[in-house]
Amino acid sequence: MTTNSSLPDAIAAGSVGIVAPQTCHFAEPLPLQSGAQIADYTLMYETYGTLNADKSNAVLICHALNASHHVAGVYVDQPKSVGWWDNMVGPGKAVDTNKFFVIGINNLGSCFGSTGPMHANPATGKPYGADFPVVTVEDWVNAQARLADVLGIQQFAAVMGGSLGGMQALAWSVMFPERLRHCVVIASTPKLSAQNIAFNDVARQAILTDPDFHGGDFYAHGVVPRRGLRVARMIGHITYLSNDDMGEKFGRELRNGDYQFGFGIDFEIESYLRYQGDKFSDYFDANTYLLITKALDYFDPARKFDGDLSRALSNTQAQFLVVSFTTDWRFAPERSREIVQALVSNRRTVSYAEIDAPHGHDAFLLDDTRYLNLVASYFDRIGATV
């Protein structure tokens, strides 16, 4: 067998290979939880693997804050464009694309192709900007369900996600109980804590108070609220890592060997966070960041049931896998246990693993044999039913 040296390494290592996004336009307005609606919209998505004849092997992967429909594989001529969950999804991987037809959908309000605040508002012909309606996890799920309808998928073998993606998977099990056989909720929570919301609001304030934000209409001014985005990302990033992991990676290492006695970069951790902030502000949209953090804050399926999560999950029919990571302090294991407890009280089929990984919240994206083997075993079980 010959190998093409121009192809990225990922392809050799069980990748789904070269992928291309697709779009689907919806002319029917989408009513939103807020009472507003989106008149018409486009969803961007990718698929991997083959949908079987009875359409029983579809797996929907829901993305978290800064990810997209690009779950696995690489784009042609962009060797660094590896999908965000490429270690999870691919031929022979935990979510095996030899068995499953995997779909990644970019959510509404995002900045990666689906209709969002940078696109033209049909009512004005100008970018939505701050006028893009606030969307919720439930609104996203409704939009995803419409795409499933278009693809002819009545019932997913599984809906799966990490963090905010896990909230969407959980919402699927509540909103469309008969449309998924399995629900995989990783490093997630049934609702944000006051501390989680506080971090989100500091990030939002950084963006909202950036003079380049222009009330959300920065597109018209030809600028980007880069400073706000950078700070927002730096704050977010701190919550994705564990104290131990950060200490191990950076400690008190100095960039230039000694104190500089100024306010530039002294410590490696400062350099790292600023680099992450800079990189993020190059590609992420400020309005999208506001929208997605609000969707996080608002998620609370138990709210309609006086805070009783057991009642909120009482109509679910799916079987569940819930996974948390011991050093995740953003959505700590305790939050996953709340989900498990509510499912157990309803006698639902549920397994729960608490992975002792050092990487904090980010662990759900990383390679950890115990974690990936467990998900692989669970998907073997799902595979037996397709």
Binding positions for another protein, rule: CB under 8 A: 337, 340-341, 344-345, 347, 349-356, 370, 373-374, 377-378, 380-381, 384
Question: What residues have CB less than 8 Å from 129, skipping those under 6 apart?
Answer: 117, 215, 216, 217, 218, 219, 220, 287
288-to-43, 102, 163, 281 alpha-carbon distances in Å: 15, 25, 17, 12
Q: Which is nearer to another protein, 175 or 386 (CB)?
A: 386
Q: How far is the CB of 356 from another protein (least distance, A)?
A: 7
| Closest to another protein by CB, 42 or 345 | 345
Residue 386, CB-side half-sphere exposure with 13 Å CA sphere: 27
CB of 347 to another protein, least distance (A): 7
| CB of 112 or CB of 352, closer to another protein | 352
Instruction: State in angstroms the smallest separation of the CB of 354 from another protein.
Output: 5
Coarse DSSP helix, strand, coil percentages of the chain, rounded to the nearest 5 percent: 40, 15, 45
CA separation (Å) from 336 to 49, 63, 93, 124, 298? Answer: 30, 18, 24, 43, 18
Contact partners, residue 163, CB within 8 Å, separation at least 6: 64, 65, 186, 187, 188, 330, 331, 361, 364
What does the radius of gyration of the chain's CA atoms come to, in whole angstroms? 21
CB nearer to another protein: pick between 56 and 276? 56
Which is closer to another protein, CB of 7 or CB of 344? 344
Shortest approach of another protein to residue 326 CB, angstroms? 10
Q: Which residues of 12-42 are buried (b: 16+ CB within 10 A; e: fewer)?
A: eebbbbebebeeeebeeebebeeeeebeebe
Minimum CB–partner distance for residue 183 and another protein (Å): 14
**In the complex, minimum distance from the CB of residue 380 to another protein, in angstroms, rounded to a whole number:** 7
What distance in Å separates the CA atoms of residue 26 and residue 29, rounded to the nearest whole number? 8
Residues with a known catalytic role = 163, 328, 361
Shortest distance in whole angstroms from residue 351 CB to another protein: 5
Containing 138, the helix (H) or strand (E) segment is: helix 137-150
Closest to another protein by CB, 22 or 349: 349
Enter the tokens of residue 323. Answer: 């996974």
Question: ∠189-195-196 over CA atoms, to 5°?
Answer: 45
